[in-house]
Structure 1
Amino acid sequence: MIQILNRLIDEIERRVGEDIDIDALAASMGTTGYHARRMFSSLAGMPVSEYVRRRRMTVAAADVVGGEDLLTIAVRYGYGSVEALGRAFRSVHGVSHGDVRRDGGPLRTQPTLRFRLTVEGSVPMDARIIERPAFRLIGHAARVPLVHIGVNPHIQQHIASLPAAEHQRLKDLGNSDPSGILQVSADVDPDYREGSDLTYLHGVAVEGDIEMPGDLDVIDLEAGEWVVFRTSGPHPAALQEAYAASASEWFPSNPWRLRPGPSIVAVLEHAEDFSTATCELWFPIERG
């Protein structure tokens, strides 16, 4: 995966002024756009679309300083007008192209990225691969913004809004692994941009012919393979570290890639105040 990401960077550099189809590029390199976007975002700390925009405006800055016609520059980098170029330019550099043309700066340069696999992994990751038949996730869903670090207050608010009796009803309905009350993140932006909306479902896993209560939201999952990571420690820090380590250590070292689908957290044990917890983190995967 590291080699693929570096080839992706090279293609972005070669075609920095073009409309780049990341999905097509990823497919030509033997992976999927979904997996490439998720791995890029996790390792680079920014979506690939944001990196492309920053590199494009970094290169465009040299042309702006050089005094070339602004419309010509805009068209070269894929913008239909000087105004569109100006909005993109200001979003990256914090100043207008007119200010830079007059004063020569200030400019914020985005260096070309290069991914390297460092020797980590001194602590083994507790993971297992399982194959699951089709099953359903049922519960109460809400649209919430993605938060990378710390507790997500919007999810907390959603859970707190549910009556205590509803948690027990959900537990009684669950009849499949992953067991217990689940924290499900679905419809996540492939670029994994912080603040982007996702569907959070507080619910359980079910399979077989059971009558679905009409007041619950449903996510249908196809049969397939899953990787399951077990985490234990401060909550939610240990869980968020597992998310990061899956991208930086596990996926580059194993012949699997993410397939579209939700990530699922099953809390197995927890302190009364939830300061610590033992959890399972489920990702849908396929062979790379």
Structure 2
Amino acid sequence: MLDRLNQTMEHIEDHLDQVVDVAELARRAATSEYHLRRMFSALAGMPLSEYIRRRRLTVAGAAVLAGRESLLDIAVRYGYGSGEAFARAFRAMHGVGPGEARRTGTALVSQARLTFRLTVEGSSSMRYRVENRTAFTVVGLKTRVPLVHRGPNQAIIDFVRGIGTETRERLEKLSDQEPRGVVAVCDDLDPSRAEGTELDYYQGVITSAAAPEGMTALPVPAGTWAVFTTSGPVPGAIQELWRDVFTEWFPSNPYRSRPGPEILRTRMAPGGAEADAELWLPVERDTAAKR
């Protein structure tokens, strides 16, 4: 998998002055576009589109300082429809406009080329199981929240606090399938998974019952799920589990992510600082994987 990702990185470098087709990148990585975007974001710490943009502006910055081409020619070569659009993007990354950078020779920001390598730690293992599930329904309360990679998500905290005890008890009585009890469900995430992009967030249950008045139903088709468990401080342990799944488990196992909701069951320890958590992710066999 890492070899294929590095070949994909080479293809990006060779086409920075052209339209980079994500479908072609996924083909070279021998995976789906969906999984490539999610895998890259987890490994690189930024969305694939952001990496490509920053690499373009890095090499464009070198061309600006070299002074052999007009600024408009550089803008067009790296995919900007006008000098103004190029100047805005250039300033957003480098903190200075291209004209000023050329006149003053000021220092610019450089996005390094990414290369993926395997780091062997060997002392940790992940607890997981794989389940094939028939179709089911998530029933609960829904809101739209921003994605937060690290630290508390205040929008989720405020939403959960606003759910009354009576409503939560009604929800719990509807739960009749695993994972049991009230769960957190994330759906309709932006493919980039960039910090601040929005997603649908549910406090709900897995059930065969119809949604009561005032609640929302999310039908989930049959499919395969990878189920991971962890224990530790919240939210850090859960956020680290999600990261480790994509940086360690997927590259080591013949599965890839598929579209679908992510389900988290959390059981808080006394005091509320730590929890036992179970993370359900939709997956499918990676038929291109060579194991």
So what's the TM-score if we normalise by structure 1?
A: 0.96
Alignment partners' CA distance in 1, 2:256 and 2:238? 20
* Cα RMSD after superposing both structures: 1.2
Matching of residues 120-139 of structure 1 within 5 Å: 120-139=121-140
Q: Secondary structure at the match of 2:246?
A: helix
Between Structure 1 and Structure 2, how many residues are aligned?
285
The Cα of 1:4 is off from its aligned counterpart by 2.4
Counterpart contact for 2:147–2:195, Cα < 8 Å: yes
Corresponding letter in the other structure for 2:48: V
* Aligned 1:1-288 pairs, distance under 5 A: 1-67=1-67, 68-207=69-208, 210-267=209-266, 269-288=267-286
Structure 1 runs of 4+ with >3 Å offset: none
Partner residue in 1 for 2:289: none
In structure 1, distance between residues paired with 2:21 and 2:248: 27
Q: Letter of the aligned partner of 1:152 in structure 2?
A: N
Q: Structure 1 residue 160: deviation in Å?
A: 0.9
SS at match of 1:78: coil
The residue type paired with residue 265 of structure 1 is: L
Residue-by-residue CA offset, 1:23-71 (whole Å, 9 max, x unaligned): 3320343211111111111111111111101100111112212221111
Against the structure 1 CA distance between its residues 121 and 194, is the aligned structure 2 distance closer, same or farther, given a 3 Å change threshold? farther
Is the CA contact (8 Å cut-off) linking 1:120 and 1:249 kept in structure 2? Answer: no
Compare 46-55 and 120-129 and name the one that shifted more: 120-129
Give the TM-score of the pair, scaled to structure 2: 0.95
1-side partners of 2:121 and 2:98: how far apart? 43
CA distance in 2, matches of 1:51, 1:70: 22
* Cα separation, 1, equivalents of 2:30 and 2:8: 12
| Structure 2 alignment gaps of length 5 or more | 287-291
Other structure's SS at 1:112 match: coil
C-alpha distance in structure 2 between counterparts of 1:23 and 1:170, whole Å: 41
Contact 1:95-1:106 at 8 Å conserved across structures: no
* Structure 1: segments with no counterpart, 5+ residues: none
Letter in 1 for 2:259: P
Q: Deviations over 1:145-203 (max 9, x none)?
A: 11111221110100111111111100011111111110111111222111111111000
User: Contact 1:256–1:286 at 8 Å: present in 2 too?
Assistant: yes
**In 2, Cα distance between the equivalents of 1:28 and 1:123?**
31
SS class of match (2:227): strand
Paired residue type of 1:59: V
How far residue 121 of structure 1 moved from its aligned partner, in angstroms, is 4.3
CA deviations on 1:95-149 (whole Å, 9 max, x unpaired) are 1001111011220011110001111342110000000001111111111111111
Identity over aligned pairs, percent: 47
Deviations 1:235-286 (A, max 9, x none): 221111111111111111000000011111012x322332111110010000
CA distance in 2, matches of 1:170, 1:233: 26
Tell me, what secondary structure is at the counterpart of 2:20? coil
* Distance in 1 between residues matched to 2:152 and 2:80, nearest whole Å: 39
Does the CA contact (< 8 Å) of 2:71 and 2:99 recur in 1? no
Which amino acid is the alignment partner of residue 223 of structure 1?
Answer: A
